[in-house]
């Protein structure tokens, strides 16, 4: 197929405000998606690529679309996703946003917040590296932005290799993501016995104490098929109270994030991709755990519990059921972003490396890093006398298994 026939592709002719670039006019054509209408037209091709490439949950079309409509566009961000075609087939999809950071323009993943891993959907095959390199080159061309934020880029991936070569980095923080690997254990009891003795005893004790309060049940809700709004509200309410108690801040507690979660989880197109686990006492929820179900992995997204039941560690009790469900479905359990000793207790030494990147893509972007260094120095200087008596956030854990 020659370049002329590619340009006549029916669904690519009305790109008034789109930018196109070609890596190889005879085979691969890159395109920058900047409008919601054009993005929505990619649903069928995007979903097919997501399946072929075994994509992670936050690269699914519906996840990206709900992020865009419920959070990104209302917040003033602009769509600037990169896709690539080989003939009539979509072979690469990189969901991205462009937004304003004070005086700078930055590009980040198309997601409601920065807690999801960064990755690209790429067609498996011999052109894999060529596609990656072409998308990376396109992103850095034409002064599209000054800064590039890529959180949780998994080590060993092509994206990690490309980002690591960038010299102008304001942040390249290495992180370890805990994961319970199903292949390590022959059965569930073997995995549970691998936990430290004290942790197992604490968990058994908390189960017995909670059972004395009433009938304890664990339910699994597919929000796309059953009303899970109340559980989502419990999750956000408990999480917000926990944040206020511990002094944590973040976008997760914003109403738009809640709206995103509801719209995503209730979308029939996402049925089976996201599940809510609930621990209840006499049918009253006391802990909720939201997970994404992928082909070979169950990925933790958010978890919270009613602090009124805190001494019974309901979060730890529910987590065991979630990990066991992943185990029984022959999937790994990925704890995702964030710290917590309970993660290493469950996973042992099993983890994978990732890096949180923040890079400059222009000289103006490099200046942002210089100013950030000055600002950090000034804040450290001003706050130094007040550090001695600073309280430790949160309350002491009753068990190392409490999320």
pLDDT tens-place string over residues 312-368? 999 999 999 999 999 999 999 999 887 788 898 999 889 999 999 999 998 998 888
Within 8 A by CB and 6+ apart from 389, the residues are none
Q: What is the pLDDT of residue 381?
A: 78
Percent of the chain exceeding pLDDT 70 equals 87
Helical (H) or strand (E) element with 364? helix 363-383
Question: What is the CATH topology of the domain spanning 3-165?
Answer: Aminopeptidase (3.40.630)
Closest CA to 239 of 301, 286, 304: 304
For residue 30, what pLDDT is reported?
Answer: 95
Q: Which residues contact 207 (CB under 8 A, 6 or more apart)?
A: 216, 317
Q: Which of 58-62, 149-153, 323-327, 369-373 has the lowest mean pLDDT?
A: 369-373
Selection from 5-19, 100-114, 337-351, 377-391 with the highest mean pLDDT:
100-114
pLDDT > 90: what percent of the chain? 64
Cβ–Cβ < 8 Å for 313, 164: no
Q: Report the CATH superfamily, name and number, of domain 179-352.
A: Gcn5-related N-acetyltransferase (GNAT) (3.40.630.30)
39 HSE (CA, 13 A, CB side): 26
Give the pLDDT of residue 305.
94
Q: What is the pLDDT of residues 259-301, one digit of tens each?
A: 899 999 999 999 999 999 999 999 999 999 999 999 999 999 9
**Which of 14-18, 39-43, 198-202, 230-234 has the least mean pLDDT?**
14-18
Q: What 8-state DSSP symbol labels residue 78? A: E
More confident residue, 371 or 50: 50
For residue 351, the Cα-to-chain-centroid distance in whole angstroms is 17
At 266, is the secondary structure helix, strand, or coil? Answer: helix
Span 268-279, pLDDT tens digits: 999 999 999 999
How many Å apart are CA 402 and CA 126, to the nearest integer? 45
**Domain boundaries of the chain, sorted by first residue:** 3-165, 179-352
The pLDDT value given to residue 295 = 93
| CA-based max dimension of the chain | 74
For range 55-68, the mean pLDDT:
96
Task: Determine the pLDDT at residue 258.
Answer: 87
Question: For residue 344, what pLDDT is reported?
Answer: 87
Residue pair 178/343 in contact by the 8 Å Cβ criterion: yes
Helix 314-328, helix 197-211: angle, nearest 10: 110
Q: Which of 142-146, 207-211, 334-338 has the lowest mean pLDDT?
A: 142-146
11 has a pLDDT exceeding 70: no
- The confidence score (pLDDT) of residue 22 equals 44
92 neighbors 32 (Cβ within 8 angstroms): no
Contact between 334 and 154 under an 8 Å Cβ cutoff? The reply is no
pLDDT the model gives residue 227: 67
Whether the Cβ atoms of residue 65 and residue 108 lie closer than 8 Å to each other: no
Instruction: Say which residue, 58 or 392, is predicted with more confidence.
Output: 58
pLDDT band at 251 (very low <50, low <70, confident <90, very high): low
Q: What is the pTM of this model?
A: 0.84
pLDDT confidence of residue 303: 92
Note whether 301 and 336 are within 8 A (CB): yes
Question: pLDDT class for 3, splitting at 50, 70, 90?
Answer: very low
């Amino acid at each position: 197929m020659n370049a002329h026939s590619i340009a006549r592709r029916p669904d690519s002719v009305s790109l008034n405000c789109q930018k196109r670039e070609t890596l190889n006019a005879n085979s691969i054509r890159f395109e920058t998606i900047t409008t919601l209408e054009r993005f929505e037209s990619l649903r069928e091709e995007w979903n097919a690529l997501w399946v072929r490439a075994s994509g992670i949950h936050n690269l699914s079309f519906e996840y990206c679309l709900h992020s865009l409509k419920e959070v990104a566009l209302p917040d003033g961000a602009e769509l600037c996703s990169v896709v690539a075609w080989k003939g009539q087939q979509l072979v690469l999809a990189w969901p991205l946003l462009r937004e304003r950071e004070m005086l700078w323009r930055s590009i980040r993943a198309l997601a409601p917040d920065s807690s999801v891993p960064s990755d690209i959907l790429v067609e498996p095959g011999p052109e894999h590296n060529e596609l990656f390199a072409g998308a990376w080159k396109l992103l850095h061309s034409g002064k599209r932005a000054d800064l590039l934020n890529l959180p949780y880029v998994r080590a060993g991936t092509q994206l990690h290799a490309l980002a690591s070569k960038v010299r102008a980095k304001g942040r390249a923080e290495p992180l370890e993501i805990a994961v319970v690997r199903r292949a390590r254990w022959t059965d569930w009891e073997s995995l549970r016995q691998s936990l430290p003795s004290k942790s197992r005893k604490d968990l058994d004790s908390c189960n017995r104490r909670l059972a004395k309060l009433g009938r304890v049940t664990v339910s699994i809700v597919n929000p796309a098929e059953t009303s899970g709004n109340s559980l989502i509200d419990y999750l956000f309410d408990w999480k917000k109270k926990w944040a206020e108690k511990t002094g944590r801040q973040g976008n997760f507690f914003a109403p738009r994030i809640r709206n995103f979660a509801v719209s995503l989880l209730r979308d029939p197109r996402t049925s089976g991709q996201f599940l809510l686990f609930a621990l209840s006492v006499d049918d009253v929820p006391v802990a909720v755990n939201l997970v994404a179900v992928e082909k070979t992995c169950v990925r933790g997204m958010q978890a919270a519990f009613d602090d009124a039941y805190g001494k019974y560690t309901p979060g730890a009790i529910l987590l065991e059921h979630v990990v066991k469900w992943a185990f029984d479905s022959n999937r790994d359990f990925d704890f995702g972003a964030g710290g917590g000793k309970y993660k290493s207790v469950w996973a042992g030494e099993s983890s994978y490396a990732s890096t949180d990147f923040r890079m400059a893509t222009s000289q103006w972007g490099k200046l942002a890093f210089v100013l950030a260094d000055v600002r950090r120095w000034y804040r450290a200087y001003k706050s130094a006398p007040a550090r001695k008596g600073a309280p430790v956030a949160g309350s002491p854990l009753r068990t190392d298994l409490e999320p």
